[in-house]
Structure 1
């Protein structure tokens, strides 16, 4: 994220490296979630919450990564997780705080 937004010099190779890592992790999660509702165990946990927030950076890479097309299982899982009341509330509060800055 730093090299995409804040760094004074745009470094295409660094940005592409981050995009490749997101693709790699997304592929792993897409495969894992084919047979599971949650990342670890049989109920919502920290790993699920952590990855939902990690994926908030995806819009920064929208020209390089299309979750819906390339990782449909992961994308459906993310949408399901974001609809959970606690996560939805956190995302709403985060967005409000970002707008207030």
Structure 2
């Protein structure tokens, strides 16, 4: 017996999560919080809401990613290229801090 598979089921999902959440930006914020496993600050949430509202119609999650990256770089006063170069370092440092094993390295005296 030969199984025939409908090729459409092999295509990536056509669901545009950003379009689905555009009417309710908090949906995207909650999705992002669940994805990273942490609550975002009020400022970060507001920033994401603003970014979503400024994206063109038809934008997708890749556009949201790029827009957040540009905004984060600007908030740090660096170029997107510098931000991209620093991102792996920041992620490694965050992992060290989060894991707890190296957390003591991040403790600073109160007067610093």
TM over 0.5: no
Structure (1/2) with the larger helix percentage: 1
Give the structure, 1 or 2, with the largest relative contact order (CA under 8 Å, sep 6 or more). Answer: 1
Normalising to structure 2: TM-score of the pair? 0.26
How does the TM-score come out when normalised to structure 1?
Answer: 0.28
Bigger radius of gyration among the two: 2
